[in-house]
Structure 1
């Protein structure tokens, strides 16, 4: 199944190395996340609010 998807991707003329995923968190949201984690809000609470994983919140909280 995965190989079929890869073949389809390659045959469509797309180059996987140049494919860029859209941002999940906007720059404004990233600023909010930094401020809110600095104020002590938990990663879990923010992840639920923004609809992302705690890993994503951790990436933007630093």
Structure 2
């Protein structure tokens, strides 16, 4: 398994430039790592790609209600 330093992290395109409330994601073939961009010392949440796809689909559907 990759360490978090070997992963390529990226922020959402919805993240603001001021650094508030941002998450970073690193995609690996068997896992998706999610972390707080403001405190990288906190251990990332690790989920399966299937779980990540379900979460992002739900978030996309929810954003239509706003």
Q: Does TM, scored on the shorter chain, surpass 0.5?
A: no
For CA contacts below 8 A with separation 6 or more, give which structure has more relative contact order: 1
Provide the TM-score with structure 2 as the length reference. 0.27
Provide the TM-score with structure 1 as the length reference. 0.29
Q: Which has the higher helix share?
A: 1
